[in-house]
Copies of this chain bind each other. A is one copy, B any other.
Amino acid sequence: MSSIQEYTLFYWPGIPGRGEFVRLCFEAAKVPYNDVSEVPELLKLLSNKSVAGIAAPHFAVPVLGIHEDQDKWHYISQTPAMLSFLAPRLGLLGDAAGLSGLERDVAVAQIQQLCATALDLNTETHDTHHPISVSSFYEDQQDEAKKRAADFRKNRLPKFLRLFEVALCENGAGADKKDGAKRRMWGTKTSVADLTVWQVLDGLLFAFPKCMQRLKDGGEYKHVFELHDEIKDELKEYLQSERRRPYSNGIFRHYPELDDE
């Protein structure tokens, strides 16, 4: 499809973080990639200087490196931009891959729309433990975090899960589900939107286990939790490998005082 020789994902060591959204694309597609987490290399990229091929500066990692040939490297950052770039190349456009013209462009935009919504939930999850300042410790904003987390559990999280449930059920290709076809965020095949939603759900199950159990038991988001199980199964080999990093002190943190009582 193109002259790409090699993909490299640059991200902090030790945590899944935002790098995981990109990593999952490669893992789901079973396309090889280099996984670079040496801090000096990351800082060099983030300095936005002296790296051939940089045409737009990076605010943060993850950064995707695209090796075209010996001398030619390209770099892209911002999770949604990397997902949009990779989806057609890695076969992660779901049912949109079979469309053409305006229909395809709309479908691609709608898949990007669903990814953006999942990534908004990711950001709001992060902000539950850092509502005031990303550069300060959690312990220094714990009172505010408790307030924000309470609002998140009560208002925001259910609103997002409701949207994912609607995507899986009521509208779009999901509603035309045929016997044996999968129920996915956009149609019946796994796309980058399913992987993105899955990673956020998975992180939430780690960070807010009681709240998520309550929402699951309520039954309103049945297909969302089924999607989590099904994609987990599709990613099984990767998730059991050492390449999958454990949650700890990244976006998804388990602070019992921020979860349901």
Copies, count: 2
Contact, CB under 8 Å: A55 / B173? yes
Minimum CB distance partner of A136 in chain B: B151
- Kindly provide the distance from the CB of A100 to the nearest chain B CB, expressed in whole angstroms: 11
Give Cα A173–Cα B54 distance, bound, in whole angstroms: 10
The verdict on A186 contacting chain B, using a C-beta distance below 8 Å, is: yes
Q: B172 and A110: CB pair below 8 A?
A: no
Nearest B residue to A107 via CB reads B55
Other-chain contact of A172, B55, B113, B141 (Cβ < 8 Å) = B55
Contact A76 B163 (CB under 8 A): no
Given contacts A147-B132, A148-B133, contact A163 B57 (CB under 8 A): yes
CA distance A237 to B108 in the complex (A): 33
- List which A19-48 residues lie within 8 A (CB) of chain B: 48
A85 within 8 A of B: yes
How big is the A interface, by class? 35 or more
- A59 interface contact, C-beta 8 A: yes
| Cβ contact within 8 Å between A109 and B132 | no
A141 cross-chain contacts in B, Cβ below 8 A: 147
Contact B132 A171 (CB under 8 A): no
Q: Which one, A8-16, A116-124, A219-227, A249-257, is touching chain B?
A: A116-124
Q: What are 26 contact pairs spanning A and B, CB under 8 A?
A: A3-B101, A48-B163, A48-B166, A48-B170, A49-B170, A54-B171, A54-B172, A55-B106, A55-B107, A55-B172, A55-B186, A57-B170, A57-B171, A58-B113, A74-B106, A77-B113, A78-B112, A78-B113, A78-B117, A80-B112, A81-B113, A82-B109, A127-B127, A131-B131, A132-B147, A133-B151
Going nearest first, the 4 A-B pairs with the smallest beta carbon separation are A56-B110, A55-B172, A133-B151, A78-B116
